[in-house]
Amino acid sequence: MEVAAKSLLFYVKSKLDIREFDSKPIPVQVITEILEAARYTGSGKNLQHWRFVVIQDRKNIEKLAEDSITGKWAINGTLAILVLTDPSYDFHLLDAGRVVQNMQLVAWSHGIASGLFTRFDIEKLRRDFNIPEHLYPSAAVIFGYPPRKIIGKKARRPLRLLVFSEKFGEPFFK
């Protein structure tokens, strides 16, 4: 296994969701690596029930943006991956979130930014992308190179306000 040039925590801390992208295409080797990150993600009961639709054609990216309720900005992306999960499992949305995070982190390690949306006109989306009834479109992740350098600084609450020891309200950090 290769040792990353930067730590995983660096990518977690610096990854921002963006909605503007450069038109530079993403190499197929990088797309494959993003998909490998998805495939290796853990899932409830190891069911691996997710499926992925890779969208690169400009017309289909436009269709995806049209089929969205909150993702009209997706039209700016150079790559979209639809994450489909099996809603018969209570944990399907948790599994979708896990897979999305892994894909985004691997993309970011290659300098590729991303954003996501989760609200669709589901019937239109099913028709346009041939999604079977037994799968639920949990998320669309849009990828592309950022149009300018991203610093990736986030305002986050301090751990002392978020983490407790043994019982809620008991400080972990003294």
For 18, counting Cβ atoms within 10 Å of its Cβ (0-12 exposed, 13-18 middle, 19+ buried), the class is middle
Calculate helix-pair angle for 28-39, 92-109, nearest 10 degrees. 150
Considering the segment(s) 12-162 as one domain, its CATH architecture is: 3-Layer(aba) Sandwich (3.40)
Residues sharing a CB contact under 8 Å with residue 151, sequence separation 6 or more, in sequence order: 14
pLDDT bin (cut points 50, 70, 90) of residue 3 is very low
Residue-wise pLDDT tens digits, 62-106: 999 999 999 999 999 999 999 999 999 999 999 999 999 999 999
**Extents of the domains making up the chain:** 12-162
For 162, counting Cβ atoms within 10 Å of its Cβ (0-12 exposed, 13-18 middle, 19+ buried), the class is exposed
